[in-house]
Amino acid sequence: MNAPPPPEGLPPSSTQPLSHSRARYFRVMGRRRPWLAIAGWGVWMAIALAVGVIMSGYTVLEDALASASPDTPEVQAAIEATRPALPGEPVNVLLIGSDSRGEGDNGRSDSLILMRLDRDRGFISLLSFPRDLYVSVPGFGLQKINAAYGLGGAEKTIETVTALTGQNVNHYINVDFNGFSNLVDEVGGVLIDVDRRYFHSNVGCSGTECYDEIDIEAGYRRLDGAQALDYVRYRHTDGDFARIARQQLFLSELKRQTNQFGNLTRLNSFAEIFAKNTETSIRKVDTLLSIAELALTLPEDRIARTSITGDTAIRAQQSVVLTYPSIVSEKVNEWRDPEFLNVAADEPEPVRGEDAKIIVRNAGTRLLGAAEMAELLREAGFNATDRGNAGRNDLANSIVRYREGAKAAAKRIQARLGPAAGISIAEDGETGNADLLVLVGNDFTGGLLDAPAPAPEAISSGDAAPPPMMNTTSLVDVLRRVEQGTPLATMAPLKLPSRASVRRVTPYRIDDKGKPWAVKLTMSVGYRTYFGMMQTNMKDPPILDGRTGKITRGGREYSTFYDGRNMQRLAWQKDGMTYWISNSLDYALTPDQMWAMAQSARPLKRAKLAAGVTDTAVSIELEGSTP
């Protein structure tokens, strides 16, 4: 994939990603659950209906699809903007969550995700777009990406995503927010581990201080449809990227808690919600069933999630997110060719940059561009061969294509070509007998960049340097007061990340079903980066379903929960209590930090530091503000 050059108004290219969490992959063994954390409630409803077909035949689903894909000019134009996938190719589905504002107004796309279903390679990949991403909308110039829907509905949104990513859209599913809210109510609400308190009141506000009201307390709570909509749409104090993380987290729990689609006994209700609130290009039951079959048979570690990142800025007196072609290229490549937790035993061994066999072809207008590039690469120590022209001369930015096993080598070459250069996995046979194919574009000016300095290794389990932690007994007295007012048997973590503070301590009842008790410790590291510890006597909370690993340490059995490469949650149970450490939305804690907290947790009677260990006082606010 070759990202287009930045339109006027976007920042110059950069080789440094703007927002990357350093992380490594961790292999965790244990039972895999065939669950897909679908990011897109429209797809969830579609899959729910498809599974229901097994019980009640095609009729209900055929009627629902007919209502959701009417033969109107708008739907027909959107379908014409899609491109059918060829047999055996991955299928790309654009998920649109729209905010309709009344008759004659399309509203805007409040949520936008491109989903890739690759049956041959066995994965589903999700690429999210910040709603304020500043892009070129075909026919309208620079706009926020969510404005494309208001300017031309699903058709213009499809055209915009295709132009930005270079990827065809094969189908689209558009769901308005009434459908989302009704779906959540239909399944009886969703239990979600809310990371902090979300609160805003418009009482006494004025101007820009007034926005959608919200009041959701921290903790593991059952949200109804209206609350869930507030939760997934909120972005006023943490922005688009946190909102994307909340949407993916919420929809994971929504699907987890349907009890293997046990709610589908109400198939007619789902069909009615789908028909009234969904628009889609999918008109064949078999197509929808094919999507459902892949979703239900994939293990969680074959689901990849990423999003386009960028910097916030002001353009045309509005806040926008600016990105770079190199970042778009990198993120699309991650989406097309994700790196997974478990590597197949027969996958080719990684190829080092200096060992890679490289062929170079000219795809730009520079005379003898391939010969010049090959010579420069050889001088830099690479095994490169000039193969002449590529049969085209309109490639704007150079691109490196790689065979399986040679991605690391391709990144080495990409770093030398310049910030606008792209990288992607090669199509079958495209590299011939070589490892890499370099297509020289019009950005090549006759030189290479210096080799970048090697990045320091990320700290992970087994590394010599431990993550920064501090020892503390500050939570013991607070939790002792919690125990005095509740039936909970709490544990105090005696290790916390350095410079962490406790922002809120919330004892409460989770819901009316048996009235289980819980306490949520909301903590922060840095500005608006919240993580937490949950403790509850709720019997078998649904959040424990679908663990990615089971590990015994220090006599305790822990359940690990990874979201791809990132540890999302670490849980254990004892004497009718369940405890878990939850990472921040942006995975600010390393797995080692989460392990240190969990293993240091002790019942209050035994919550003491060893002799000679410094006890660090931690700032604690019992009902602090968490903006």
What's the pLDDT score for residue 480?
97
Answer yes or no: are the C-beta atoms of 177 and 107 closer than 8 Å: no
Give strand pairing partners of 359.
385, 437
**Residue 107: which pLDDT band, with cuts at 50, 70 and 90?**
low
Q: Which two tokens stand for residue 229?
A: 């909509």
Mean pLDDT of 363-386: 92
Residue 22: pLDDT above 90?
A: no
Tell me what percent of the residues of the chain surpass a pLDDT of 70: 78
Mean pLDDT of 129-143: 93
Q: Which residue stretches of 85-187 are H helix? A: 147-165, 177-186
Per-residue pLDDT reduced to its tens digit, 424-453: 778 777 888 899 999 999 889 888 888 765
What's the pLDDT score for residue 266?
58
What CA–CA distance (Å, rounded) separates 123 from 117? 6
Strands (E), 349-433: 357-362, 383-389, 399-402, 422-425
What's the pLDDT score for residue 584?
92
What's the pLDDT score for residue 374?
94
What's the pLDDT score for residue 298?
65
What CA–CA distance (Å, rounded) separates 213 from 199? 7
**Residue 23: which pLDDT band, with cuts at 50, 70 and 90?**
very low
Residues of the chain within CATH 3.30.420.590 domain(s) are 41-187+258-336
What's the pLDDT score for residue 297?
61
Answer yes or no: are the C-beta atoms of 314 and 320 closer than 8 Å: yes
Nearest 5°: phi and psi at 250?
-65, -45
What's the pLDDT score for residue 12?
39
Nearest 5°: phi and psi at 617?
-70, 135
Angle at 365 between CA 13 and CA 420, to 5 degrees: 15
The listed CATH number (3.20.20.70, 1.20.1260.10, 3.30.420.590, 3.30.70.20) that belongs to domain 41-187+258-336: 3.30.420.590
What's the pLDDT score for residue 529?
87
Rounded alpha-carbon distances, angstroms, from residue 25 to 28, 417, 461, 506, 574? 9, 28, 11, 33, 29
Residues of the chain within CATH 3.30.70 domain(s) are 353-440
Instruction: Note the CATH architecture for domain 469-606.
Output: 2-Layer Sandwich (3.30)
Residue 119: pLDDT above 90?
A: no
**Residue 13: which pLDDT band, with cuts at 50, 70 and 90?**
very low
Q: Which two tokens stand for residue 37?
A: 């954390």
Mean pLDDT of 533-544: 93
Mean pLDDT of 34-44: 39
Residue 255: pLDDT above 90?
A: no
Mean pLDDT of 34-48: 42
For the chain, the average pLDDT equals: 79
Mean pLDDT of 128-153: 92
Per-residue pLDDT reduced to its tens digit, 543-554: 888 787 889 988
**Residue 183: which pLDDT band, with cuts at 50, 70 and 90?**
confident
What CA–CA distance (Å, rounded) separates 86 from 129? 26
Owner of token pair 């869930």: 228
Mean pLDDT of 502-515: 86
The listed CATH number (3.30.70, 3.40.50, 3.30.420, 1.20.144) that belongs to domain 353-440: 3.30.70
What's the pLDDT score for residue 256?
63
Residue 17: pLDDT above 50?
A: no
3-state secondary structure of 156: helix
Question: Among 136-150, 182-196, 199-213, 330-344, which stretch is predicted with the lowest mean pLDDT?
Answer: 330-344
Residues of the chain within CATH 3.30.200.100 domain(s) are 469-606
Residue 32: pLDDT above 60?
A: no
What CA–CA distance (Å, rounded) separates 323 from 4? 12
Question: Among 25-34, 174-183, 197-206, 388-397, which stretch is predicted with the lowest mean pLDDT?
Answer: 25-34
What's the pLDDT score for residue 473?
97
Per-residue pLDDT reduced to its tens digit, 224-233: 989 988 888 7
3-state secondary structure of 315: strand
Element (H, E) at 552: strand 549-553
Residue 627: pLDDT above 80?
A: no
CB atoms within 10 A of CB 12: 8
Residue 171: pLDDT above 80?
A: yes
Question: Among 11-20, 87-96, 440-449, which stretch is predicted with the lowest mean pLDDT?
Answer: 11-20
Rounded alpha-carbon distances, angstroms, from residue 505 to 249, 288, 621? 22, 45, 7
Mean pLDDT of 400-424: 82
What's the pLDDT score for residue 610?
93
Give strand pairing partners of 449.
none
Max mean pLDDT range (344-353, 439-448, 541-550, 573-582): 573-582
Residue 305: pLDDT above 50?
A: yes
Q: Which residues of 191-207 are buried (b: 16+ CB within 10 A; e: fewer)?
A: bbbbbbbbebeeeeeee
